[in-house]
Amino acid sequence: MIWFKKPVSVKGTLLALLLPAGILLMALAWLVHGLLLDRMSRQFVESRLKDEVAFLEHQIRDSSGRLDTLQTGDYFQEVFHHAFAIHSDTRTIISPENWAPLLMPLVESGEEGTLRVSGAEISEAPSDILAYRKSFHVDGKPIVVIVSEDLGALSRSQAELHAWTAVVSLLLILLLVGVLWLGINLSMRPVVSLKAALKRLQDGEISRIDVRAPEEFQPLVLQLNQLLDSLDQRLERSRDALANLSHSVKTPIAAVRQILEDTDRPLPNALRQQMAGRLDDIDRQLEAEMRRSRFAGPQVGKSAYPLKQARDLLWMLGRLYPAKSYEMSTALTEERRWPIEEHDLNEVLGNLLDNAGKWSARFVELGLEEDGQGFTITVEDDGPGIPPEALETLGTRGLRLDEQTPGHGLGLAIVREITARYGGTLNFSSGSTGGFKATVHFPGTTGGKRQ
């Protein structure tokens, strides 16, 4: 049996949960009110009966036990609003008199304290009473005092009060329904606005979602806008790649085609080498643009383990350049993650380490750090270094000559482009041993993410 189904709407789900809960709580409060009212009423009546018995005892002791001197007329009717019985060895007073069949058995019973009589069938007398009995001696004479109250009248008063409580509870339930309906509608307004904004976005009327959303919906709007930015960036990268390929490949292809179409001209070795060089240029350009097309940029939920990737790359490059020594300094742990797409981080680390391996004399040092400002990668080698005047233009996109020759070129251009997509910085400087040093900084919150 399925108790919970997939909600059709948030509003319907909230009403389906909150309304029964509110009605149940109101009903429970009404039942508890009835129980507490009955208990408190009985305790109040018992306390009042005890006080009136104490008052009568005081009056009797002041009169030295002479019951005929007590004012049992209008005075007691005004002071007490209960029936009472006073019994001595010479006289018995019961007021009102029609309660005598109920109170006389209590006088003769000998029981003390609170007494309950119910189910009595005596004309002009209540069927359910609560009484308090106390016996004492005055000048050696035994005296019994009983004060009682009609519980039927008390129950009718309680029932009337309880009924009014039920009416008030129903009114509160209706008010609760109205408040819930109004509160849910007001709370769902941002969702309606967001839905309308998505429709306008789908129709092409807007390019970004600009909705004044509450705090709970702000991350959703932010992530949607970031997704739109990412899609625009991918489209722009695709267009740039096609433009670069069209521009770079057109001339070599035209030259090769011209040579091949010239049937009157033999193909000497020099010309064959020239054609091979042209084809190599096309191949390198295709590889460069294909690598750029794989860059992901900032992606929600994408992260990488920098220490693991760095160790894998150092192991591989150590075998590619066996004469070079690769070292790493970091305080990161194995489980530490950085909010950088895994392939992008691999491109940054791989290009920097490979470039340093080509130019280093003996060693390459990798540093991985993180602080409150973000994440930093440093790669330093002990090679010949770069002239200061060339540092600013190194790795700039568009330097086709550098991208097609070994050394500082295509790899650093790729690193610069990836870093820019994450809003980071790439700096070049001279190392502590006079070699080349590259520093990449990605902005972000402290520490990265744990698994």
Rounded to the nearest 5°, which phi and psi values hold at 222?
-60, -45
| pTM for the model | 0.47
Residue pair 439/427 in contact by the 8 Å Cβ criterion: yes
Which has the minimum average pLDDT: 22-26, 59-63, 248-252, 381-385? Answer: 248-252
Q: What is the DSSP letter of 436?
A: E
pLDDT tens for 222-280 read 878 877 877 777 767 676 666 666 666 666 677 667 666 666 666 677 766 767 776 77
Q: Is the pLDDT of residue 366 over 90?
A: yes
Q: Which is it for the CA torsion 67, 71, 73, 79, positive or negative?
A: negative
Q: Which residues of 315-354 are buried (b: 16+ CB within 10 A; e: fewer)?
A: eebeeebeebebebeeebeeebbbbbbbebbbbbbbbbbb
Q: How far apart are CA 283 and CA 349, in angstroms?
A: 24
Q: How far apart are CA 107 and CA 100, in angstroms?
A: 10
Confidence of residue 451 (pLDDT cuts 50, 70, 90): very low
Q: Given 3-state DSSP classes, what are the helix, strand and coil percentages for the chain, each rounded to the nearest 5?
A: 55, 15, 30
CATH superfamily ID and name for 306-443: Histidine kinase-like ATPase, C-terminal domain (3.30.565.10)
H/E segment holding residue 83 = strand 83-87
Q: How far apart are CA 302 and CA 227, in angstroms?
A: 13
- Which CATH architecture best describes the domain 13-156? 2-Layer Sandwich (3.30)
pLDDT tens for 44-62 read 888 888 888 888 888 888 8
- Show Cβ contacts of residue 217 under 8 Å, excluding neighbours closer than 6 positions: 190, 191, 194, 211
